[in-house]
Amino acid sequence: DVKVTQSSRYLVKRTGEKVFLECVQDMDHENMFWYRQDPGLGLRLIYFSYDVKMKEKGDIPEGYSVSREKKERFSLILESASTNQTSMYLCASSLRATEKLFFGSGTQLSVL
Amino acid sequence: GQQLNQSPQSMFIQEGEDVSMNCTSSSIFNTWLWYKQEPGEGPVLLIALYKAGELTSNGRLTAQFGITRKDSFLNISASIPSDVGIYFCAGQPSGGYQKVTFGTGTKLQVIP
């Protein structure tokens, strides 16, 4: 089975800190995604990447950036964390754009 | 991006009862997807629907692609405690997963 691993289950950061969320997939998938999950709002796409060094904005990219230097790794960066970025962050990957998503277990980020 | 209206938001049911939930959109979709997220895990795909009117089952789960292509339904028969989780619908107009819109989720609790 595909494994999507997110480096941290829980993170607590302070306002203004630079935050890195890491995601690694082990099945040579082309596409990787970062979602944010908030109660009552479902999952919202922040960024996705369809190849190394390629990225596209999702629905809510403001305040975030991403990096994909290697095929298996996709990083989400909060340049200056703010309290409204407190949320559950989910990484996902898929073999091709139309194939099903495999999700990681999520990182619960709290910004104080 | 748009959001899908999913109802109910949450439900408590007795073990053995049947469950129904639905998802509506103002836009047409070519694909409807249903995911389940268990506590502490990422969402996992349960059922994918590709054609208006399609009815598809996966064990005790049955999902339907609405005739108008603007809605979808999920039924769970004879619920068991391990059905607990958050169920998300997702609609895909065309193209890749970057265009998928997720619903707001239905949180299901099963009382043994």
A49, two tokens: 């990447």
Structure confidence at residue B94 (pLDDT) = 77
Which conformational region is residue B9 in: left (phi greater than 0), alpha (psi within -120 to 50 degrees), or beta? alpha
Q: Is B13 on the interface with A (CB under 8 A)?
A: no
Structure confidence at residue A99 (pLDDT) = 73
Structure confidence at residue A96 (pLDDT) = 77
Q: Is 60 exceeded by the pLDDT of residue B110?
A: yes
User: A42-52 burial, b if ≥16 CB within 10 A, otherwise e?
Assistant: bbbbbbbbbee
Q: Which of B27, B92, B98 to mutate to test the interface with A (most CBs of A within 10 A)?
A: B98
pLDDT digits (tens, 9 = 90+) for B19-52: 999 999 998 999 999 999 999 999 999 999 999 9
A31, two tokens: 């596409």
CA distance B32 to chain A (A): 12
Q: Using 50 as the pLDDT threshold, list the residues of chain A that sit under it.
A: none
φ, ψ for residue B91, nearest 5 deg: -115, 140
% of chain B exceeding 90 in pLDDT: 83
Contact B52, B37 (CB under 8 A): no
Per-residue confidence at B97, pLDDT binned at 50, 70, 90? low
Per-residue confidence at B99, pLDDT binned at 50, 70, 90? confident
Read off the amino acid at residue B20.
Answer: S
Q: Is B3 on the interface with A (CB under 8 A)?
A: yes
Instruction: Identify the residue whose tokens are 């908030």.
Output: A38
Chain A residues lying within 8 Å of B104, measured CB to CB: 40-42
Task: Test B97 with A94 for CB contact under 8 angstroms.
Answer: yes
Q: Is 90 exceeded by the pLDDT of residue B10?
A: yes
- The helix/strand count (H/E) of chain B reads as 0, 11
